[in-house]
Structure 1
Amino acid sequence: MPKAQQLSSANWFGKASAGVIAGFMLTLAICGLLAHFGPLDVGYFSAQSQISMWLMSPVWGLIMSFCFLFRNGVHAWAWLGSGNAVLWGLLLGSQYLVGQGG
């Protein structure tokens, strides 16, 4: 059985940059999906848009906080980058399908 790796402050710049840059893009995708697929009407001043807007900071803060639990910066970039690819693919794909279907 492999030995559990201890958390350390090594490679903090790679982890922090992944949390700031990739985490911000991931937060945009999450809030965009919430605004797009939420149960309320969508408009500039609708409740759903306001909820999406005000959730940006806490969600981004959580992602930035948890990025330090990755083993190193490469793992942080890989996981957050793949999450970005999936969520942005869903968001952009849903925009394309809704635009074509209507």
Structure 2
Amino acid sequence: MATRKTPYTSKNWLVKVLAALVPGFIFTLGLTGVVGLLCHTNGNPQSASGQYLMWLTALVWSTLLSTCFLFRSGRQAWGYLSLGCAIVWAAYFLLRSTMA
């Protein structure tokens, strides 16, 4: 039984962009927190690790904003990015509790 896949379209572009803006930004902040915990940064924006984290945030979020159109639907974009958010934040809280 062959499954029919929906083609990529420009429909629902606003929903896809909103998915990259809202859960994409929350995902980016969580990822930055995980990397910050793993790098043992102190949060000082003048340190090299602080600068790395600030530029990492811009890079990841702009990548999400530019690739959000590759999802087949707005619902799929919201689903995957929300799931990624939950995973990254769970990893952050788990790391924070074990490293403290």
Distance 2:71 2:92 in 1: 26
Match in the other structure for 1:29: 30
What is the TM-score when the length of structure 2 is the normalising length? 0.87
Paired residues of 2:30 and 2:85 also in contact (CA < 8 A): yes
Where in structure 1 are there 5+ consecutive unaligned residues?
A: none
Match in the other structure for 2:15: 14
Task: List aligned pairs for 1:1-102, cutoff 5 A.
Answer: 1-38=2-39, 41-43=40-42, 44=44, 45-99=46-100
Where in structure 2 are there 5+ consecutive unaligned residues?
A: none
1:51 is aligned with what amino acid? Y
1:86 is aligned with what amino acid? I
Q: CA deviation at 1:98?
A: 2.3
| Secondary structure, aligned partner of 1:2 | coil
For each residue in 1:2-31, what CA deviation from the matched residue of structure 2 results, as whole angstroms up to 9, or x when unmatched?
344321110111111000111101111111
For each residue in 1:26-75, what CA deviation from the matched residue of structure 2 results, as whole angstroms up to 9, or x when unmatched?
1111111111102xx52213321210111111110101111111111111
Paired residues of 2:34 and 2:95 also in contact (CA < 8 A): no
RMSD between superposed Cα atoms in Å: 1.4
1:47 is aligned with what amino acid? A
1:85 is aligned with what amino acid? A
Identity between Structure 1 and Structure 2 (%): 32
What is the TM-score when the length of structure 1 is the normalising length? 0.85
Distance 1:49 1:36 in 2: 11
